[in-house]
Amino acid sequence: MVTALFTHSDCLEHVTPRGHPEQVARLQAIENALSVAKFDGLLRREAPIGSKRDILRCHPAEHLKKIQTAAPEEDIISLDADTHMSPGSLTAAYRAVGANVAAVDMVLSGEVANAFVGCRPPGHHAETARAMGFCLFGNVSIGAKYALDHHDLSRVAIVDFDVHHGNGTQDLMWDEDRVLFCSSHQMPLYPGSGAVSEIGGSGKILNVPLEPDTGGEFMRRAYDREVLPAIEAFAPELILVSAGFDAHLDDPLANLNWSEDDFAWLTGRICDVAEACCGGRVVSTLEGGYDLRALAESVAAHVGVLMERGG
Ligand SMILES: [Zn+2]
């Protein structure tokens, strides 16, 4: 089997203010990195438009309406100090949702071994009724709810290795006892949540804060001791990944010191657990990562491992 790659040129039409780290050039850098011969084996698919029904699996209708109403016809508007919309943002956000749902379908049908969704805007900071942190909709959470409710799964694990806490996913999954949500993140750092004591309504949230200036070895120990055993014990039928690459040494927004090799190692370990629990079924979705070179090389390392393990 192969690895699917979901993206769409519409995701380049989500334009943020000049100097904003979550910029169009991120996807261009990723596309360049994945255009070399090594990645010819990817099954490339255009991200479809996500449905209102799927967005409402996680967000109330008022939130969707608020985002639709805020969408500008020209210029760039601000939802908060960090989060913006341009005329192309709404369609881009719909495609980020649709890609997650389609990737879940493809992986669960056995058409592909695993998938990477390279869309933007990202999603893990979007709370139930609030866009924030560059995110409009909870893309990965929507994929999880879709897998549970549409495909009748009983257990889905979400691993979030973005350097920022996935407060949105935590909020959306707080009372969802069919989801194990594991987040590693630098602490203290935006958005401020993600303490060990935040365990969710049914104890299915595992927060693993990492101290600033720690590196890959520290991360590897944390995953081997805590995160990976927790996922294995939960025995998920599908693993979703919020793949942010801003824990990289060169990232301008945070202070963890991971390398491309660390992202490759972590991807391999997540695949190990997926193979033990659920036939290797992994859907990974781009979140952060703001140094363009580090982002491109880290995504290439991540997708390279998904392809090796899926092939
Ligand atoms: Zn981040």
The neighbour count for residue 295, using CB atoms within 10 Å, is 25
- Classify 280 in phi/psi space as left (phi over 0), alpha (psi -120 to 50) or beta: left
| Residues 41 and 303: beta-carbon distance below 8 Å | no
Q: What is the DSSP secondary structure assignment for residue 281, as one 8-state letter?
A: -
How remote is the CA of residue 244 from the centroid of ligand 1, in Å? 6
How remote is the CA of residue 288 from the centroid of ligand 1, in Å? 4
Catalytic residue IDs: 125
41-86 pLDDT, tens digit each: 999 999 999 999 999 999 999 999 999 999 999 999 999 999 999 9
145-157 pLDDT, tens digit each: 999 999 999 999 9
DSSP 63-108: HHHHHHHH--SSS-EESSSS-EE-TTHHHHHHHHHHHHHHHHHHHH
The arithmetic mean of pLDDT across residues 16-43, rounded, is 98
How remote is the CA of residue 247 from the centroid of ligand 1, in Å? 8
Q: How many CA atoms lie within 13 A of 267 on its CB side?
A: 28
Q: What is the mean pLDDT of the chain?
A: 98
CB within 5 A of ion ligand 1: which residues?
162, 164, 244, 246, 288
Measuring CA to CA, which residue among 135, 128, 133, 154 is closest to residue 97?
A: 135
Residue 36 makes CB contacts below 8 A (sequence gap 6+) with none
How remote is the CA of residue 109 from the centroid of ligand 1, in Å? 31
Q: Is the pLDDT of residue 1 over 90?
A: no
How remote is the CA of residue 3 from the centroid of ligand 1, in Å? 24
The arithmetic mean of pLDDT across residues 230-259, rounded, is 98
Identify the burial level of 112 via C-beta atoms within 10 angstroms of its C-beta, where 0-12 means exposed, 13-18 middle and 19 or more buried.
buried
Measuring CA to CA, which residue among 167, 112, 137 is closest to residue 54?
A: 137
Residue 62 makes CB contacts below 8 A (sequence gap 6+) with 129
Alpha carbon distance 301, 295 (integer Å):
10
pLDDT of residue 53: 98
pTM: 0.98
